[in-house]
Structure 1
Amino acid sequence: MKRDVSVLLDVEVHAESLLEFQIAVAHQPGVEVIESLSFELGGVRRTAKEVSGPHGSRIHVLRCGAGNLRTEYSARVLGAARPEPPSDYDLALYLRPSRFVESDKMLGFAASEFGCGIDDPETPGRVAAWVADRIGYLPGSSAPSDSAVDTLLTSNGVCRDFSHLMVALLRAVGVPARVASVYPPGCMPMDFHSVAEAYVDGGWQVFDPTRLAPRSSLVRIATGRDAADIAFLGNHGGDITVNGLWVRSFVDGPLPYDDHIHPTTIN
């Protein structure tokens, strides 16, 4: 499948800051990426340092002073990713509670709803369907500091809230789970998107409880414990305002169908 993705990010930097961008397509075996990335501060080209993260994630680090920063990225993505074999460390890490995924606070609730899911390959699908049925997709209904517990209590959220809740419930019943940021062809409204991945039958399977985009069309950007690991923009030390964010992603040809039931991976 050939996919084209792009993003334009307009940021006002009010004081000197160290910025971290996670907008570039992840490095994955089997995937060819033809891409361009540029940063312009007040019309002057700047160069960022690329830092390699886990699971092929790429962080572009830029220290800049005050001014208007314009960031543009585009990529043509060819091929399909070969599955990444989980390490023993991954399986331990993605069972632990984290900042936005307080699985330790959901042990009793998750057990009463889903039982123990360690040896049941059907558990992630049941949890994804439960989250899809119980949580309403409502833009603006959550704050950046909201966690999985907040989503469970309010029953509303956006994609990151859906994936946080699903991952929290899975970890609570003993299934290693993580989140991924992706470019999502077919998603409406178009934006960066967050999905959940669960360890099933020896590998990572992707689930999207929002059901907003076909999973086989997704393009991986970053992977981690929760939103703190996969944020498209991090700011350290300064003050910034995001003036605008425009994301585009589409496939060459018809959009693939997804029943959101059968197992699949991020390609």
Structure 2
Amino acid sequence: MPVRLAIEADLDYWLPEPADILLQLEAAALPDQRLDSRALTVWSDHPIAATDGDEGMGQRCWARTQYRLMAQYRATVTVDRVAVDIAALPPTPPRALPGAVIPYLLPSRYCQSDRLEGFVRREFGGLSGGAMAQALLEWTRGALIYRSGVSQGDTTALDTFASRMGVCRDYAHLLVSLARAAEIPARCVGAYAPGVEPPDFHAVVELWLDGAWRLVDPTGMARVEEIVRICVGRDATDIAFMTVFGTAFFQAQRVAVHRLDG
């Protein structure tokens, strides 16, 4: 059954010197999520400019300013998506993958999947495809403790694997790395979702299974039927809600997602 969500996001940052800023705040228009209304306002010294997101999903926004950057995003989105039992999906051998999917099978800056291949073989040997994906998802949820303040912007999947703690970004990096180590293409997804605690931009994962990307939340906080995707990428570098080419200092930030039906 379709779910209607109201999304609000507000950013307020201080920039001591002029800088270019790349924003990814807008929900993507996709077959399984319809944008009923949307409005993005950015207070910038220069006109803002839109550019496509990775894989053609959503769009980014360039701004340039000094002193104060403020952005306000409001949207109403209808999500019409059915959760899939990924455990029942068959495997796809690497040689049969579409060309556009292959980069998500390889290690990336924060997802050193090649360093986790031995662990995956030892712990999950004999599994493949959806059964492997489900086992890795359940292991990640059970092995990690959700805790703010224990990771930083440069924390990698290996760091999280060692500490067994982190936030949604860390959960996503670890599951992506484990999946790639198991020869399952995986990518990080920037998203909005109700029920996220504390309320914030959310990071989830898409796994390539049986010819399509399958959405999962390794933290278990959000239901697949209620996740609104913003953008996708290899890791957190590609899905950051704000990338500053210079220096910026946090002043205030707020994200709120509410169900409008039921």
TM-score (norm 2): 0.88
Q: Equivalent residue for 1:6?
A: 8
Give, as a single letter, the amino acid of the residue that structure 1 aligns with 2:102: A
> How far apart are 1:81 and its partner, in Å?
6.5
DSSP 3-state at the match of 1:123: helix
**Match in the other structure for 2:38:** 35
Amino acid at match of 2:59: R
Post-superposition shift, 1:92? 0.6
Q: Take 2:147 and 2:164, find their aligned partners in 1: how far apart are those partners?
A: 10
Go from structure 1 to structure 2 and tell me whether the alpha carbon gap of 1:166 and 1:30 turns closer, same or farther (over 3 Å shift).
closer
Q: Which runs of 5+ in 2 are unaligned?
A: 83-96
State the shift of 1:31 in Å: 3.6
Report the alpha carbon displacement of residue 13 of structure 1 after superposing the two structures with TM. 1.2
Once the two structures are aligned, what percentage of the paired residues are identical? 30
1:109 pairs, out of 113, 119, 122, with: 119
Which residue is equivalent to 1:193? 202
1:192/1:247 contact within 8 Å kept: yes
* Aligned residue in 2 for 1:161: 170
Kept in 2: contact 1:198–1:205 (CA 8 A):
yes
Which letter maps to 2:77?
V
Structure 1 distance, partners of 2:17, 2:181, is 42
Counterpart code for 2:98: D
Number of the residue aligned with 1:68: 68
- Write the letter of the residue equivalent to 1:61: W
Q: Structure 1 residue runs of 4+, over 6 Å off? A: none
DSSP-derived class of the 2:254 partner: strand
Q: What CA distance in whole angstroms lies between the structure 2 residues aligned with 1:60 and 1:81?
A: 27
Aligned-residue offset at 1:18:
0.6
| TM-fit CA distance, 1:55 | 4.1
How do 1:240-251 and structure 2 match up within 5 A? 240-251=248-259
CA RMSD for the aligned pairs? 2.0
Q: Distance in 1 between matches of 2:137 and 2:155?
A: 20
Verify: 1:215 aligned to 2:224, yes or no: yes
Q: Which residue of 2 aligns with 1:58?
A: 59
Cα distance change of structure 1 residues 31 and 132 upon mapping to structure 2, 3 Å threshold = closer
Structure 1 length-normalised TM: 0.87
Task: Assess if the C-alpha contact under 8 Å between 2:21 and 2:63 holds in 1.
Answer: yes
Corresponding residue for residue 85 of structure 2 = none
Q: Which residue of 1 aligns with 2:20?
A: 18
The correspondence for 2:215, drawn from 179, 184, 206, is 206
Distance in 1 between residues matched to 2:8 and 2:178, nearest whole Å: 33
- Report if the CA contact (8 A) 2:18-2:67 is conserved: no
Structure 1 residue runs without a partner (length 5+): 255-267
For the 8 Å contact 1:39–1:47, the answer to whether it is kept is no
1:3 CA displacement: 1.1
- How far residue 120 of structure 1 moved from its aligned partner, in angstroms, is 2.7
Among 166, 178, 182, the alignment partner of 2:187 is 178
Q: 1:135 Cα shift?
A: 0.7
